[in-house]
Amino acid sequence: MTRIAVLVSGGGTNLQALIDSERAGKIPHGSIELVIASNEKAYALTRAENAGIAHAAIRRKDYADQDSYDAALVEALHVHDIDMVILAGFLSILGPRFIQSYPDRILNIHPSLIPSFCGKGFYGLKVHEAALAKGVKVTGATVHLVNEIPDGGRILLQKAVEVQDGDTPEILQRRVMEQAEWILLPKAAEMLAEKLEEEKQA
């Protein structure tokens, strides 16, 4: 079984989608063993507690530099024998030490069709504000592997979502979550978990 950690910063709606999918048997090769939040007030920690999953808050501001923050995150993952990491709305930057500790084993969900509206500075509502400002008729979500370029890793899955007349950034954000993010992320989690299980047994 591939042991999964989910890194979060806010409400944890994508985390909840993963928990629900695992319980429904849709991630048979993976098990969510740890949730780490970048702040102690993240509601995602409550979701983890309600689901009986180990959880912790590890804040960037408690560490002198990026490398020591990365080291603290990696240490927490090692304590729980984590095989794979999912970034589900994790807003803290991850440095080379962290990324190199889990090569091709970190998934991220981004609320647009990469390469549109992605990279540095594009997160949360800002992505949807940019899509609406540009006047695109179709947006969506992308799950990709994480490398050292923001939103630059290999794309695994994408799903398109229509932009509708009268959309606000908040309405569009919700539609992209419901129609794309909450579907794609569990699917990608199972894809990678299954691949890692096969590699272990090879």
3-state secondary structure string, 67-128?
Answer: HHHHHHHHHHHHHCCCCEEEECCCCCCCCHHHHHHCCCCEEEEECCCCCCCCCCCCCCHHHH
Task: Give the whole-angstrom CA distance, residue 166 versus residue 99.
Answer: 40
Which residue, 97, 91, 61, 92, is CA-closest to 77? 97
pLDDT at 173: 97
Q: What is the mean pLDDT of residues 81-86?
A: 98
Number of domains in the chain: 1
Q: What is the mean pLDDT of residues 137-149?
A: 96
Q: Using alpha carbons only, what angle is made at residue 30 by residues 189 and 180, rounded to the nearest 5 degrees?
A: 25
Per-chain mean pLDDT for the chain: 96
CATH code for position 113: 3.40.50.170
Residues 82 and 3: beta-carbon distance below 8 Å: yes
pTM of the model: 0.95
128 is catalytic: no
Q: Does 13 have pLDDT greater than 90?
A: yes
Paired sense of beta strands 84-87 and 2-8, if any: parallel
Q: Does 92 have pLDDT greater than 90?
A: no
Q: What is the mean pLDDT of residues 6-10?
A: 96
Q: Which of 55, 110, 128, 144 is catalytic?
A: 110
Q: Which residues is 55 bridged to in the sheet?
A: 35
pLDDT at 189: 98
Confidence at 30, pLDDT banded by 50, 70, 90: very high
Confidence at 93, pLDDT banded by 50, 70, 90: confident
pLDDT at 91: 87
Taken in order 195, 196, 201, 202, the sign of the CA dihedral is positive
What is the residue range of 15's domain? 2-201
Cis peptide before 115 (omega within 30 of 0): yes
Position 188: which residue type?
A
